[in-house]
Amino acid sequence: MGRISGKTAIVTGGAMGMGAATVARFAAEGANVVIADVHAEAARALAEELGGNVVFLALDVADPAAWADVVKRTEKRFGGVDILVNNAGIADTGPFEEWSAARLQRVLDVNLFGVFHGIQAVTPVMKKAGGGAIVNVGSVGALQGFPMMSGYVASKWAVRGLTKTVALELGKHGIRLNAVHPGQIDTPMTSNVTFETDHVALGRMGQAAEIADIILFLAGDDARFVTGAEITGDGGQSAGQADYQGVPK
């Protein structure tokens, strides 16, 4: 029997990258999985490949009405929602002085409000069931600053704070909220980006499946006493300067 057999999960941004790896991991562990994404073709292909109880439902995470529809349809299909993985996200780069309010809002609509709407949409269903698990995918950018990524970093710091705060409110209902902060992960989003790994303790980029394993832990009963917490999957990137050669005096 799988670690989350019989449970139902919604994974946003589940068509590609870390989302797709999470969908596959959850399906292998016996869960019913809803791939909630705007990339219909990729999502349908993944659902067909995995088969079983994996389905695609179109979702723009910035639209609260769309969230309500996806949760309602998930309940009708599988009877409830036990797990939510808020993975959908976008990145944008550029000098801070070139950012407009509209450009910032676009990033916040997906990276922050997408998480906010998702938590609100599943909370009544999870309360009714007596509990549930929500995993928010943040970023190593929620732990430190990155030049040229002010909007993205701001959105991820906000998700970090939202996770901890709502965990305090929903714990009495048996609903756990935790965050995972990936570092440099090999995904379609980073395919055109060249990363230096000298400052990563493990000396390499991470794989999407490695983040999916962390998400599985936080979503399952092995983490039943874990809430308001965060796990950093960055190979040691945020721990310090791995390539430092100085000798303390």
Closest CA to 26 of 111, 135, 138, 159: 135
Catalytic residue among 141, 152, 163, 211: 152
The two tokens of residue 56 are 């695609």
Distances 206 to 3, 15, 29, 85, 200 between C-alpha atoms, Å: 23, 19, 22, 19, 10
Spatial distance between the Cα atoms of 223 and 235, rounded to a whole number of angstroms: 21
- Answer yes or no: 244 catalytic: no
Residues acting as catalytic residues: 152
